Amino acid sequence: MSAQCLGCGMLVSAGVTACPKCDALLEEQTDGSVLHRDIAHQHETVAQAMCKLEQALLDCRQSHACGVRLAVGRGVIREEVTRQLSWLAMNGDILDFDHDEGNTGAIMVFMRRS
Ligand SMILES: [Zn+2]
């Protein structure tokens, strides 16, 4: 898998963190897009939902999205995801998340500044 520098368009191989041509930090680049993942509506257990959360964050890291919108429902999965995201935000693994969007059953996770 290869990636492309959004600054200069250079194709770089996976695992490279800085563009060899323009020195941009590739992991921090974003095209402003948002991924969408549903992690709670296939009768997932909490453990399965947490695996899907991890995968969603990984997908986001490997893409140029600025964040991922998670459909978490309104039950215990939402509580666990909120707890996990609080921890990740405290550790700086994610920028922030918005768990207070009214009653939509979704959480927006911000991974990069757009
Ligand atoms: Zn570049």
pLDDT digits (tens, 9 = 90+) for 19-40: 999 999 988 999 999 999 999 9
Query: Which residues crowd ion ligand 1, with CB under 5 Å?
Result: 5, 7-8, 10, 19, 21-22, 24
pLDDT at 14 over 90: no
Model pLDDT for residues 76-111, shown as the tens digit of each residue: 999 999 999 999 999 999 999 997 666 679 999 999
What spacing in Å lies between the alpha carbon of 21 and ligand 1's midpoint? Answer: 5
Identify whether the C-beta of residue 6 lies closer than 8 Å to the C-beta of residue 27.
Answer: no
Q: State the pairing for strand pair 67-71/34-38.
A: parallel
Domain count, the chain: 2
Q: Can you give the length of the chain in residues?
A: 114
On whether both 2 and 13 belong to a single domain, the answer is: yes
What spacing in Å lies between the alpha carbon of 12 and ligand 1's midpoint? Answer: 9
On whether both 25 and 62 belong to a single domain, the answer is: no
The closest alpha carbon to 76, from 35, 39, 101, belongs to 39
Predicted pLDDT at 99: 74
What residues make up the domain containing 20? 1-29
On whether both 48 and 17 belong to a single domain, the answer is: no
The closest alpha carbon to 111, from 37, 51, 39, 58, belongs to 58
Q: What is the pTM of this model?
A: 0.86
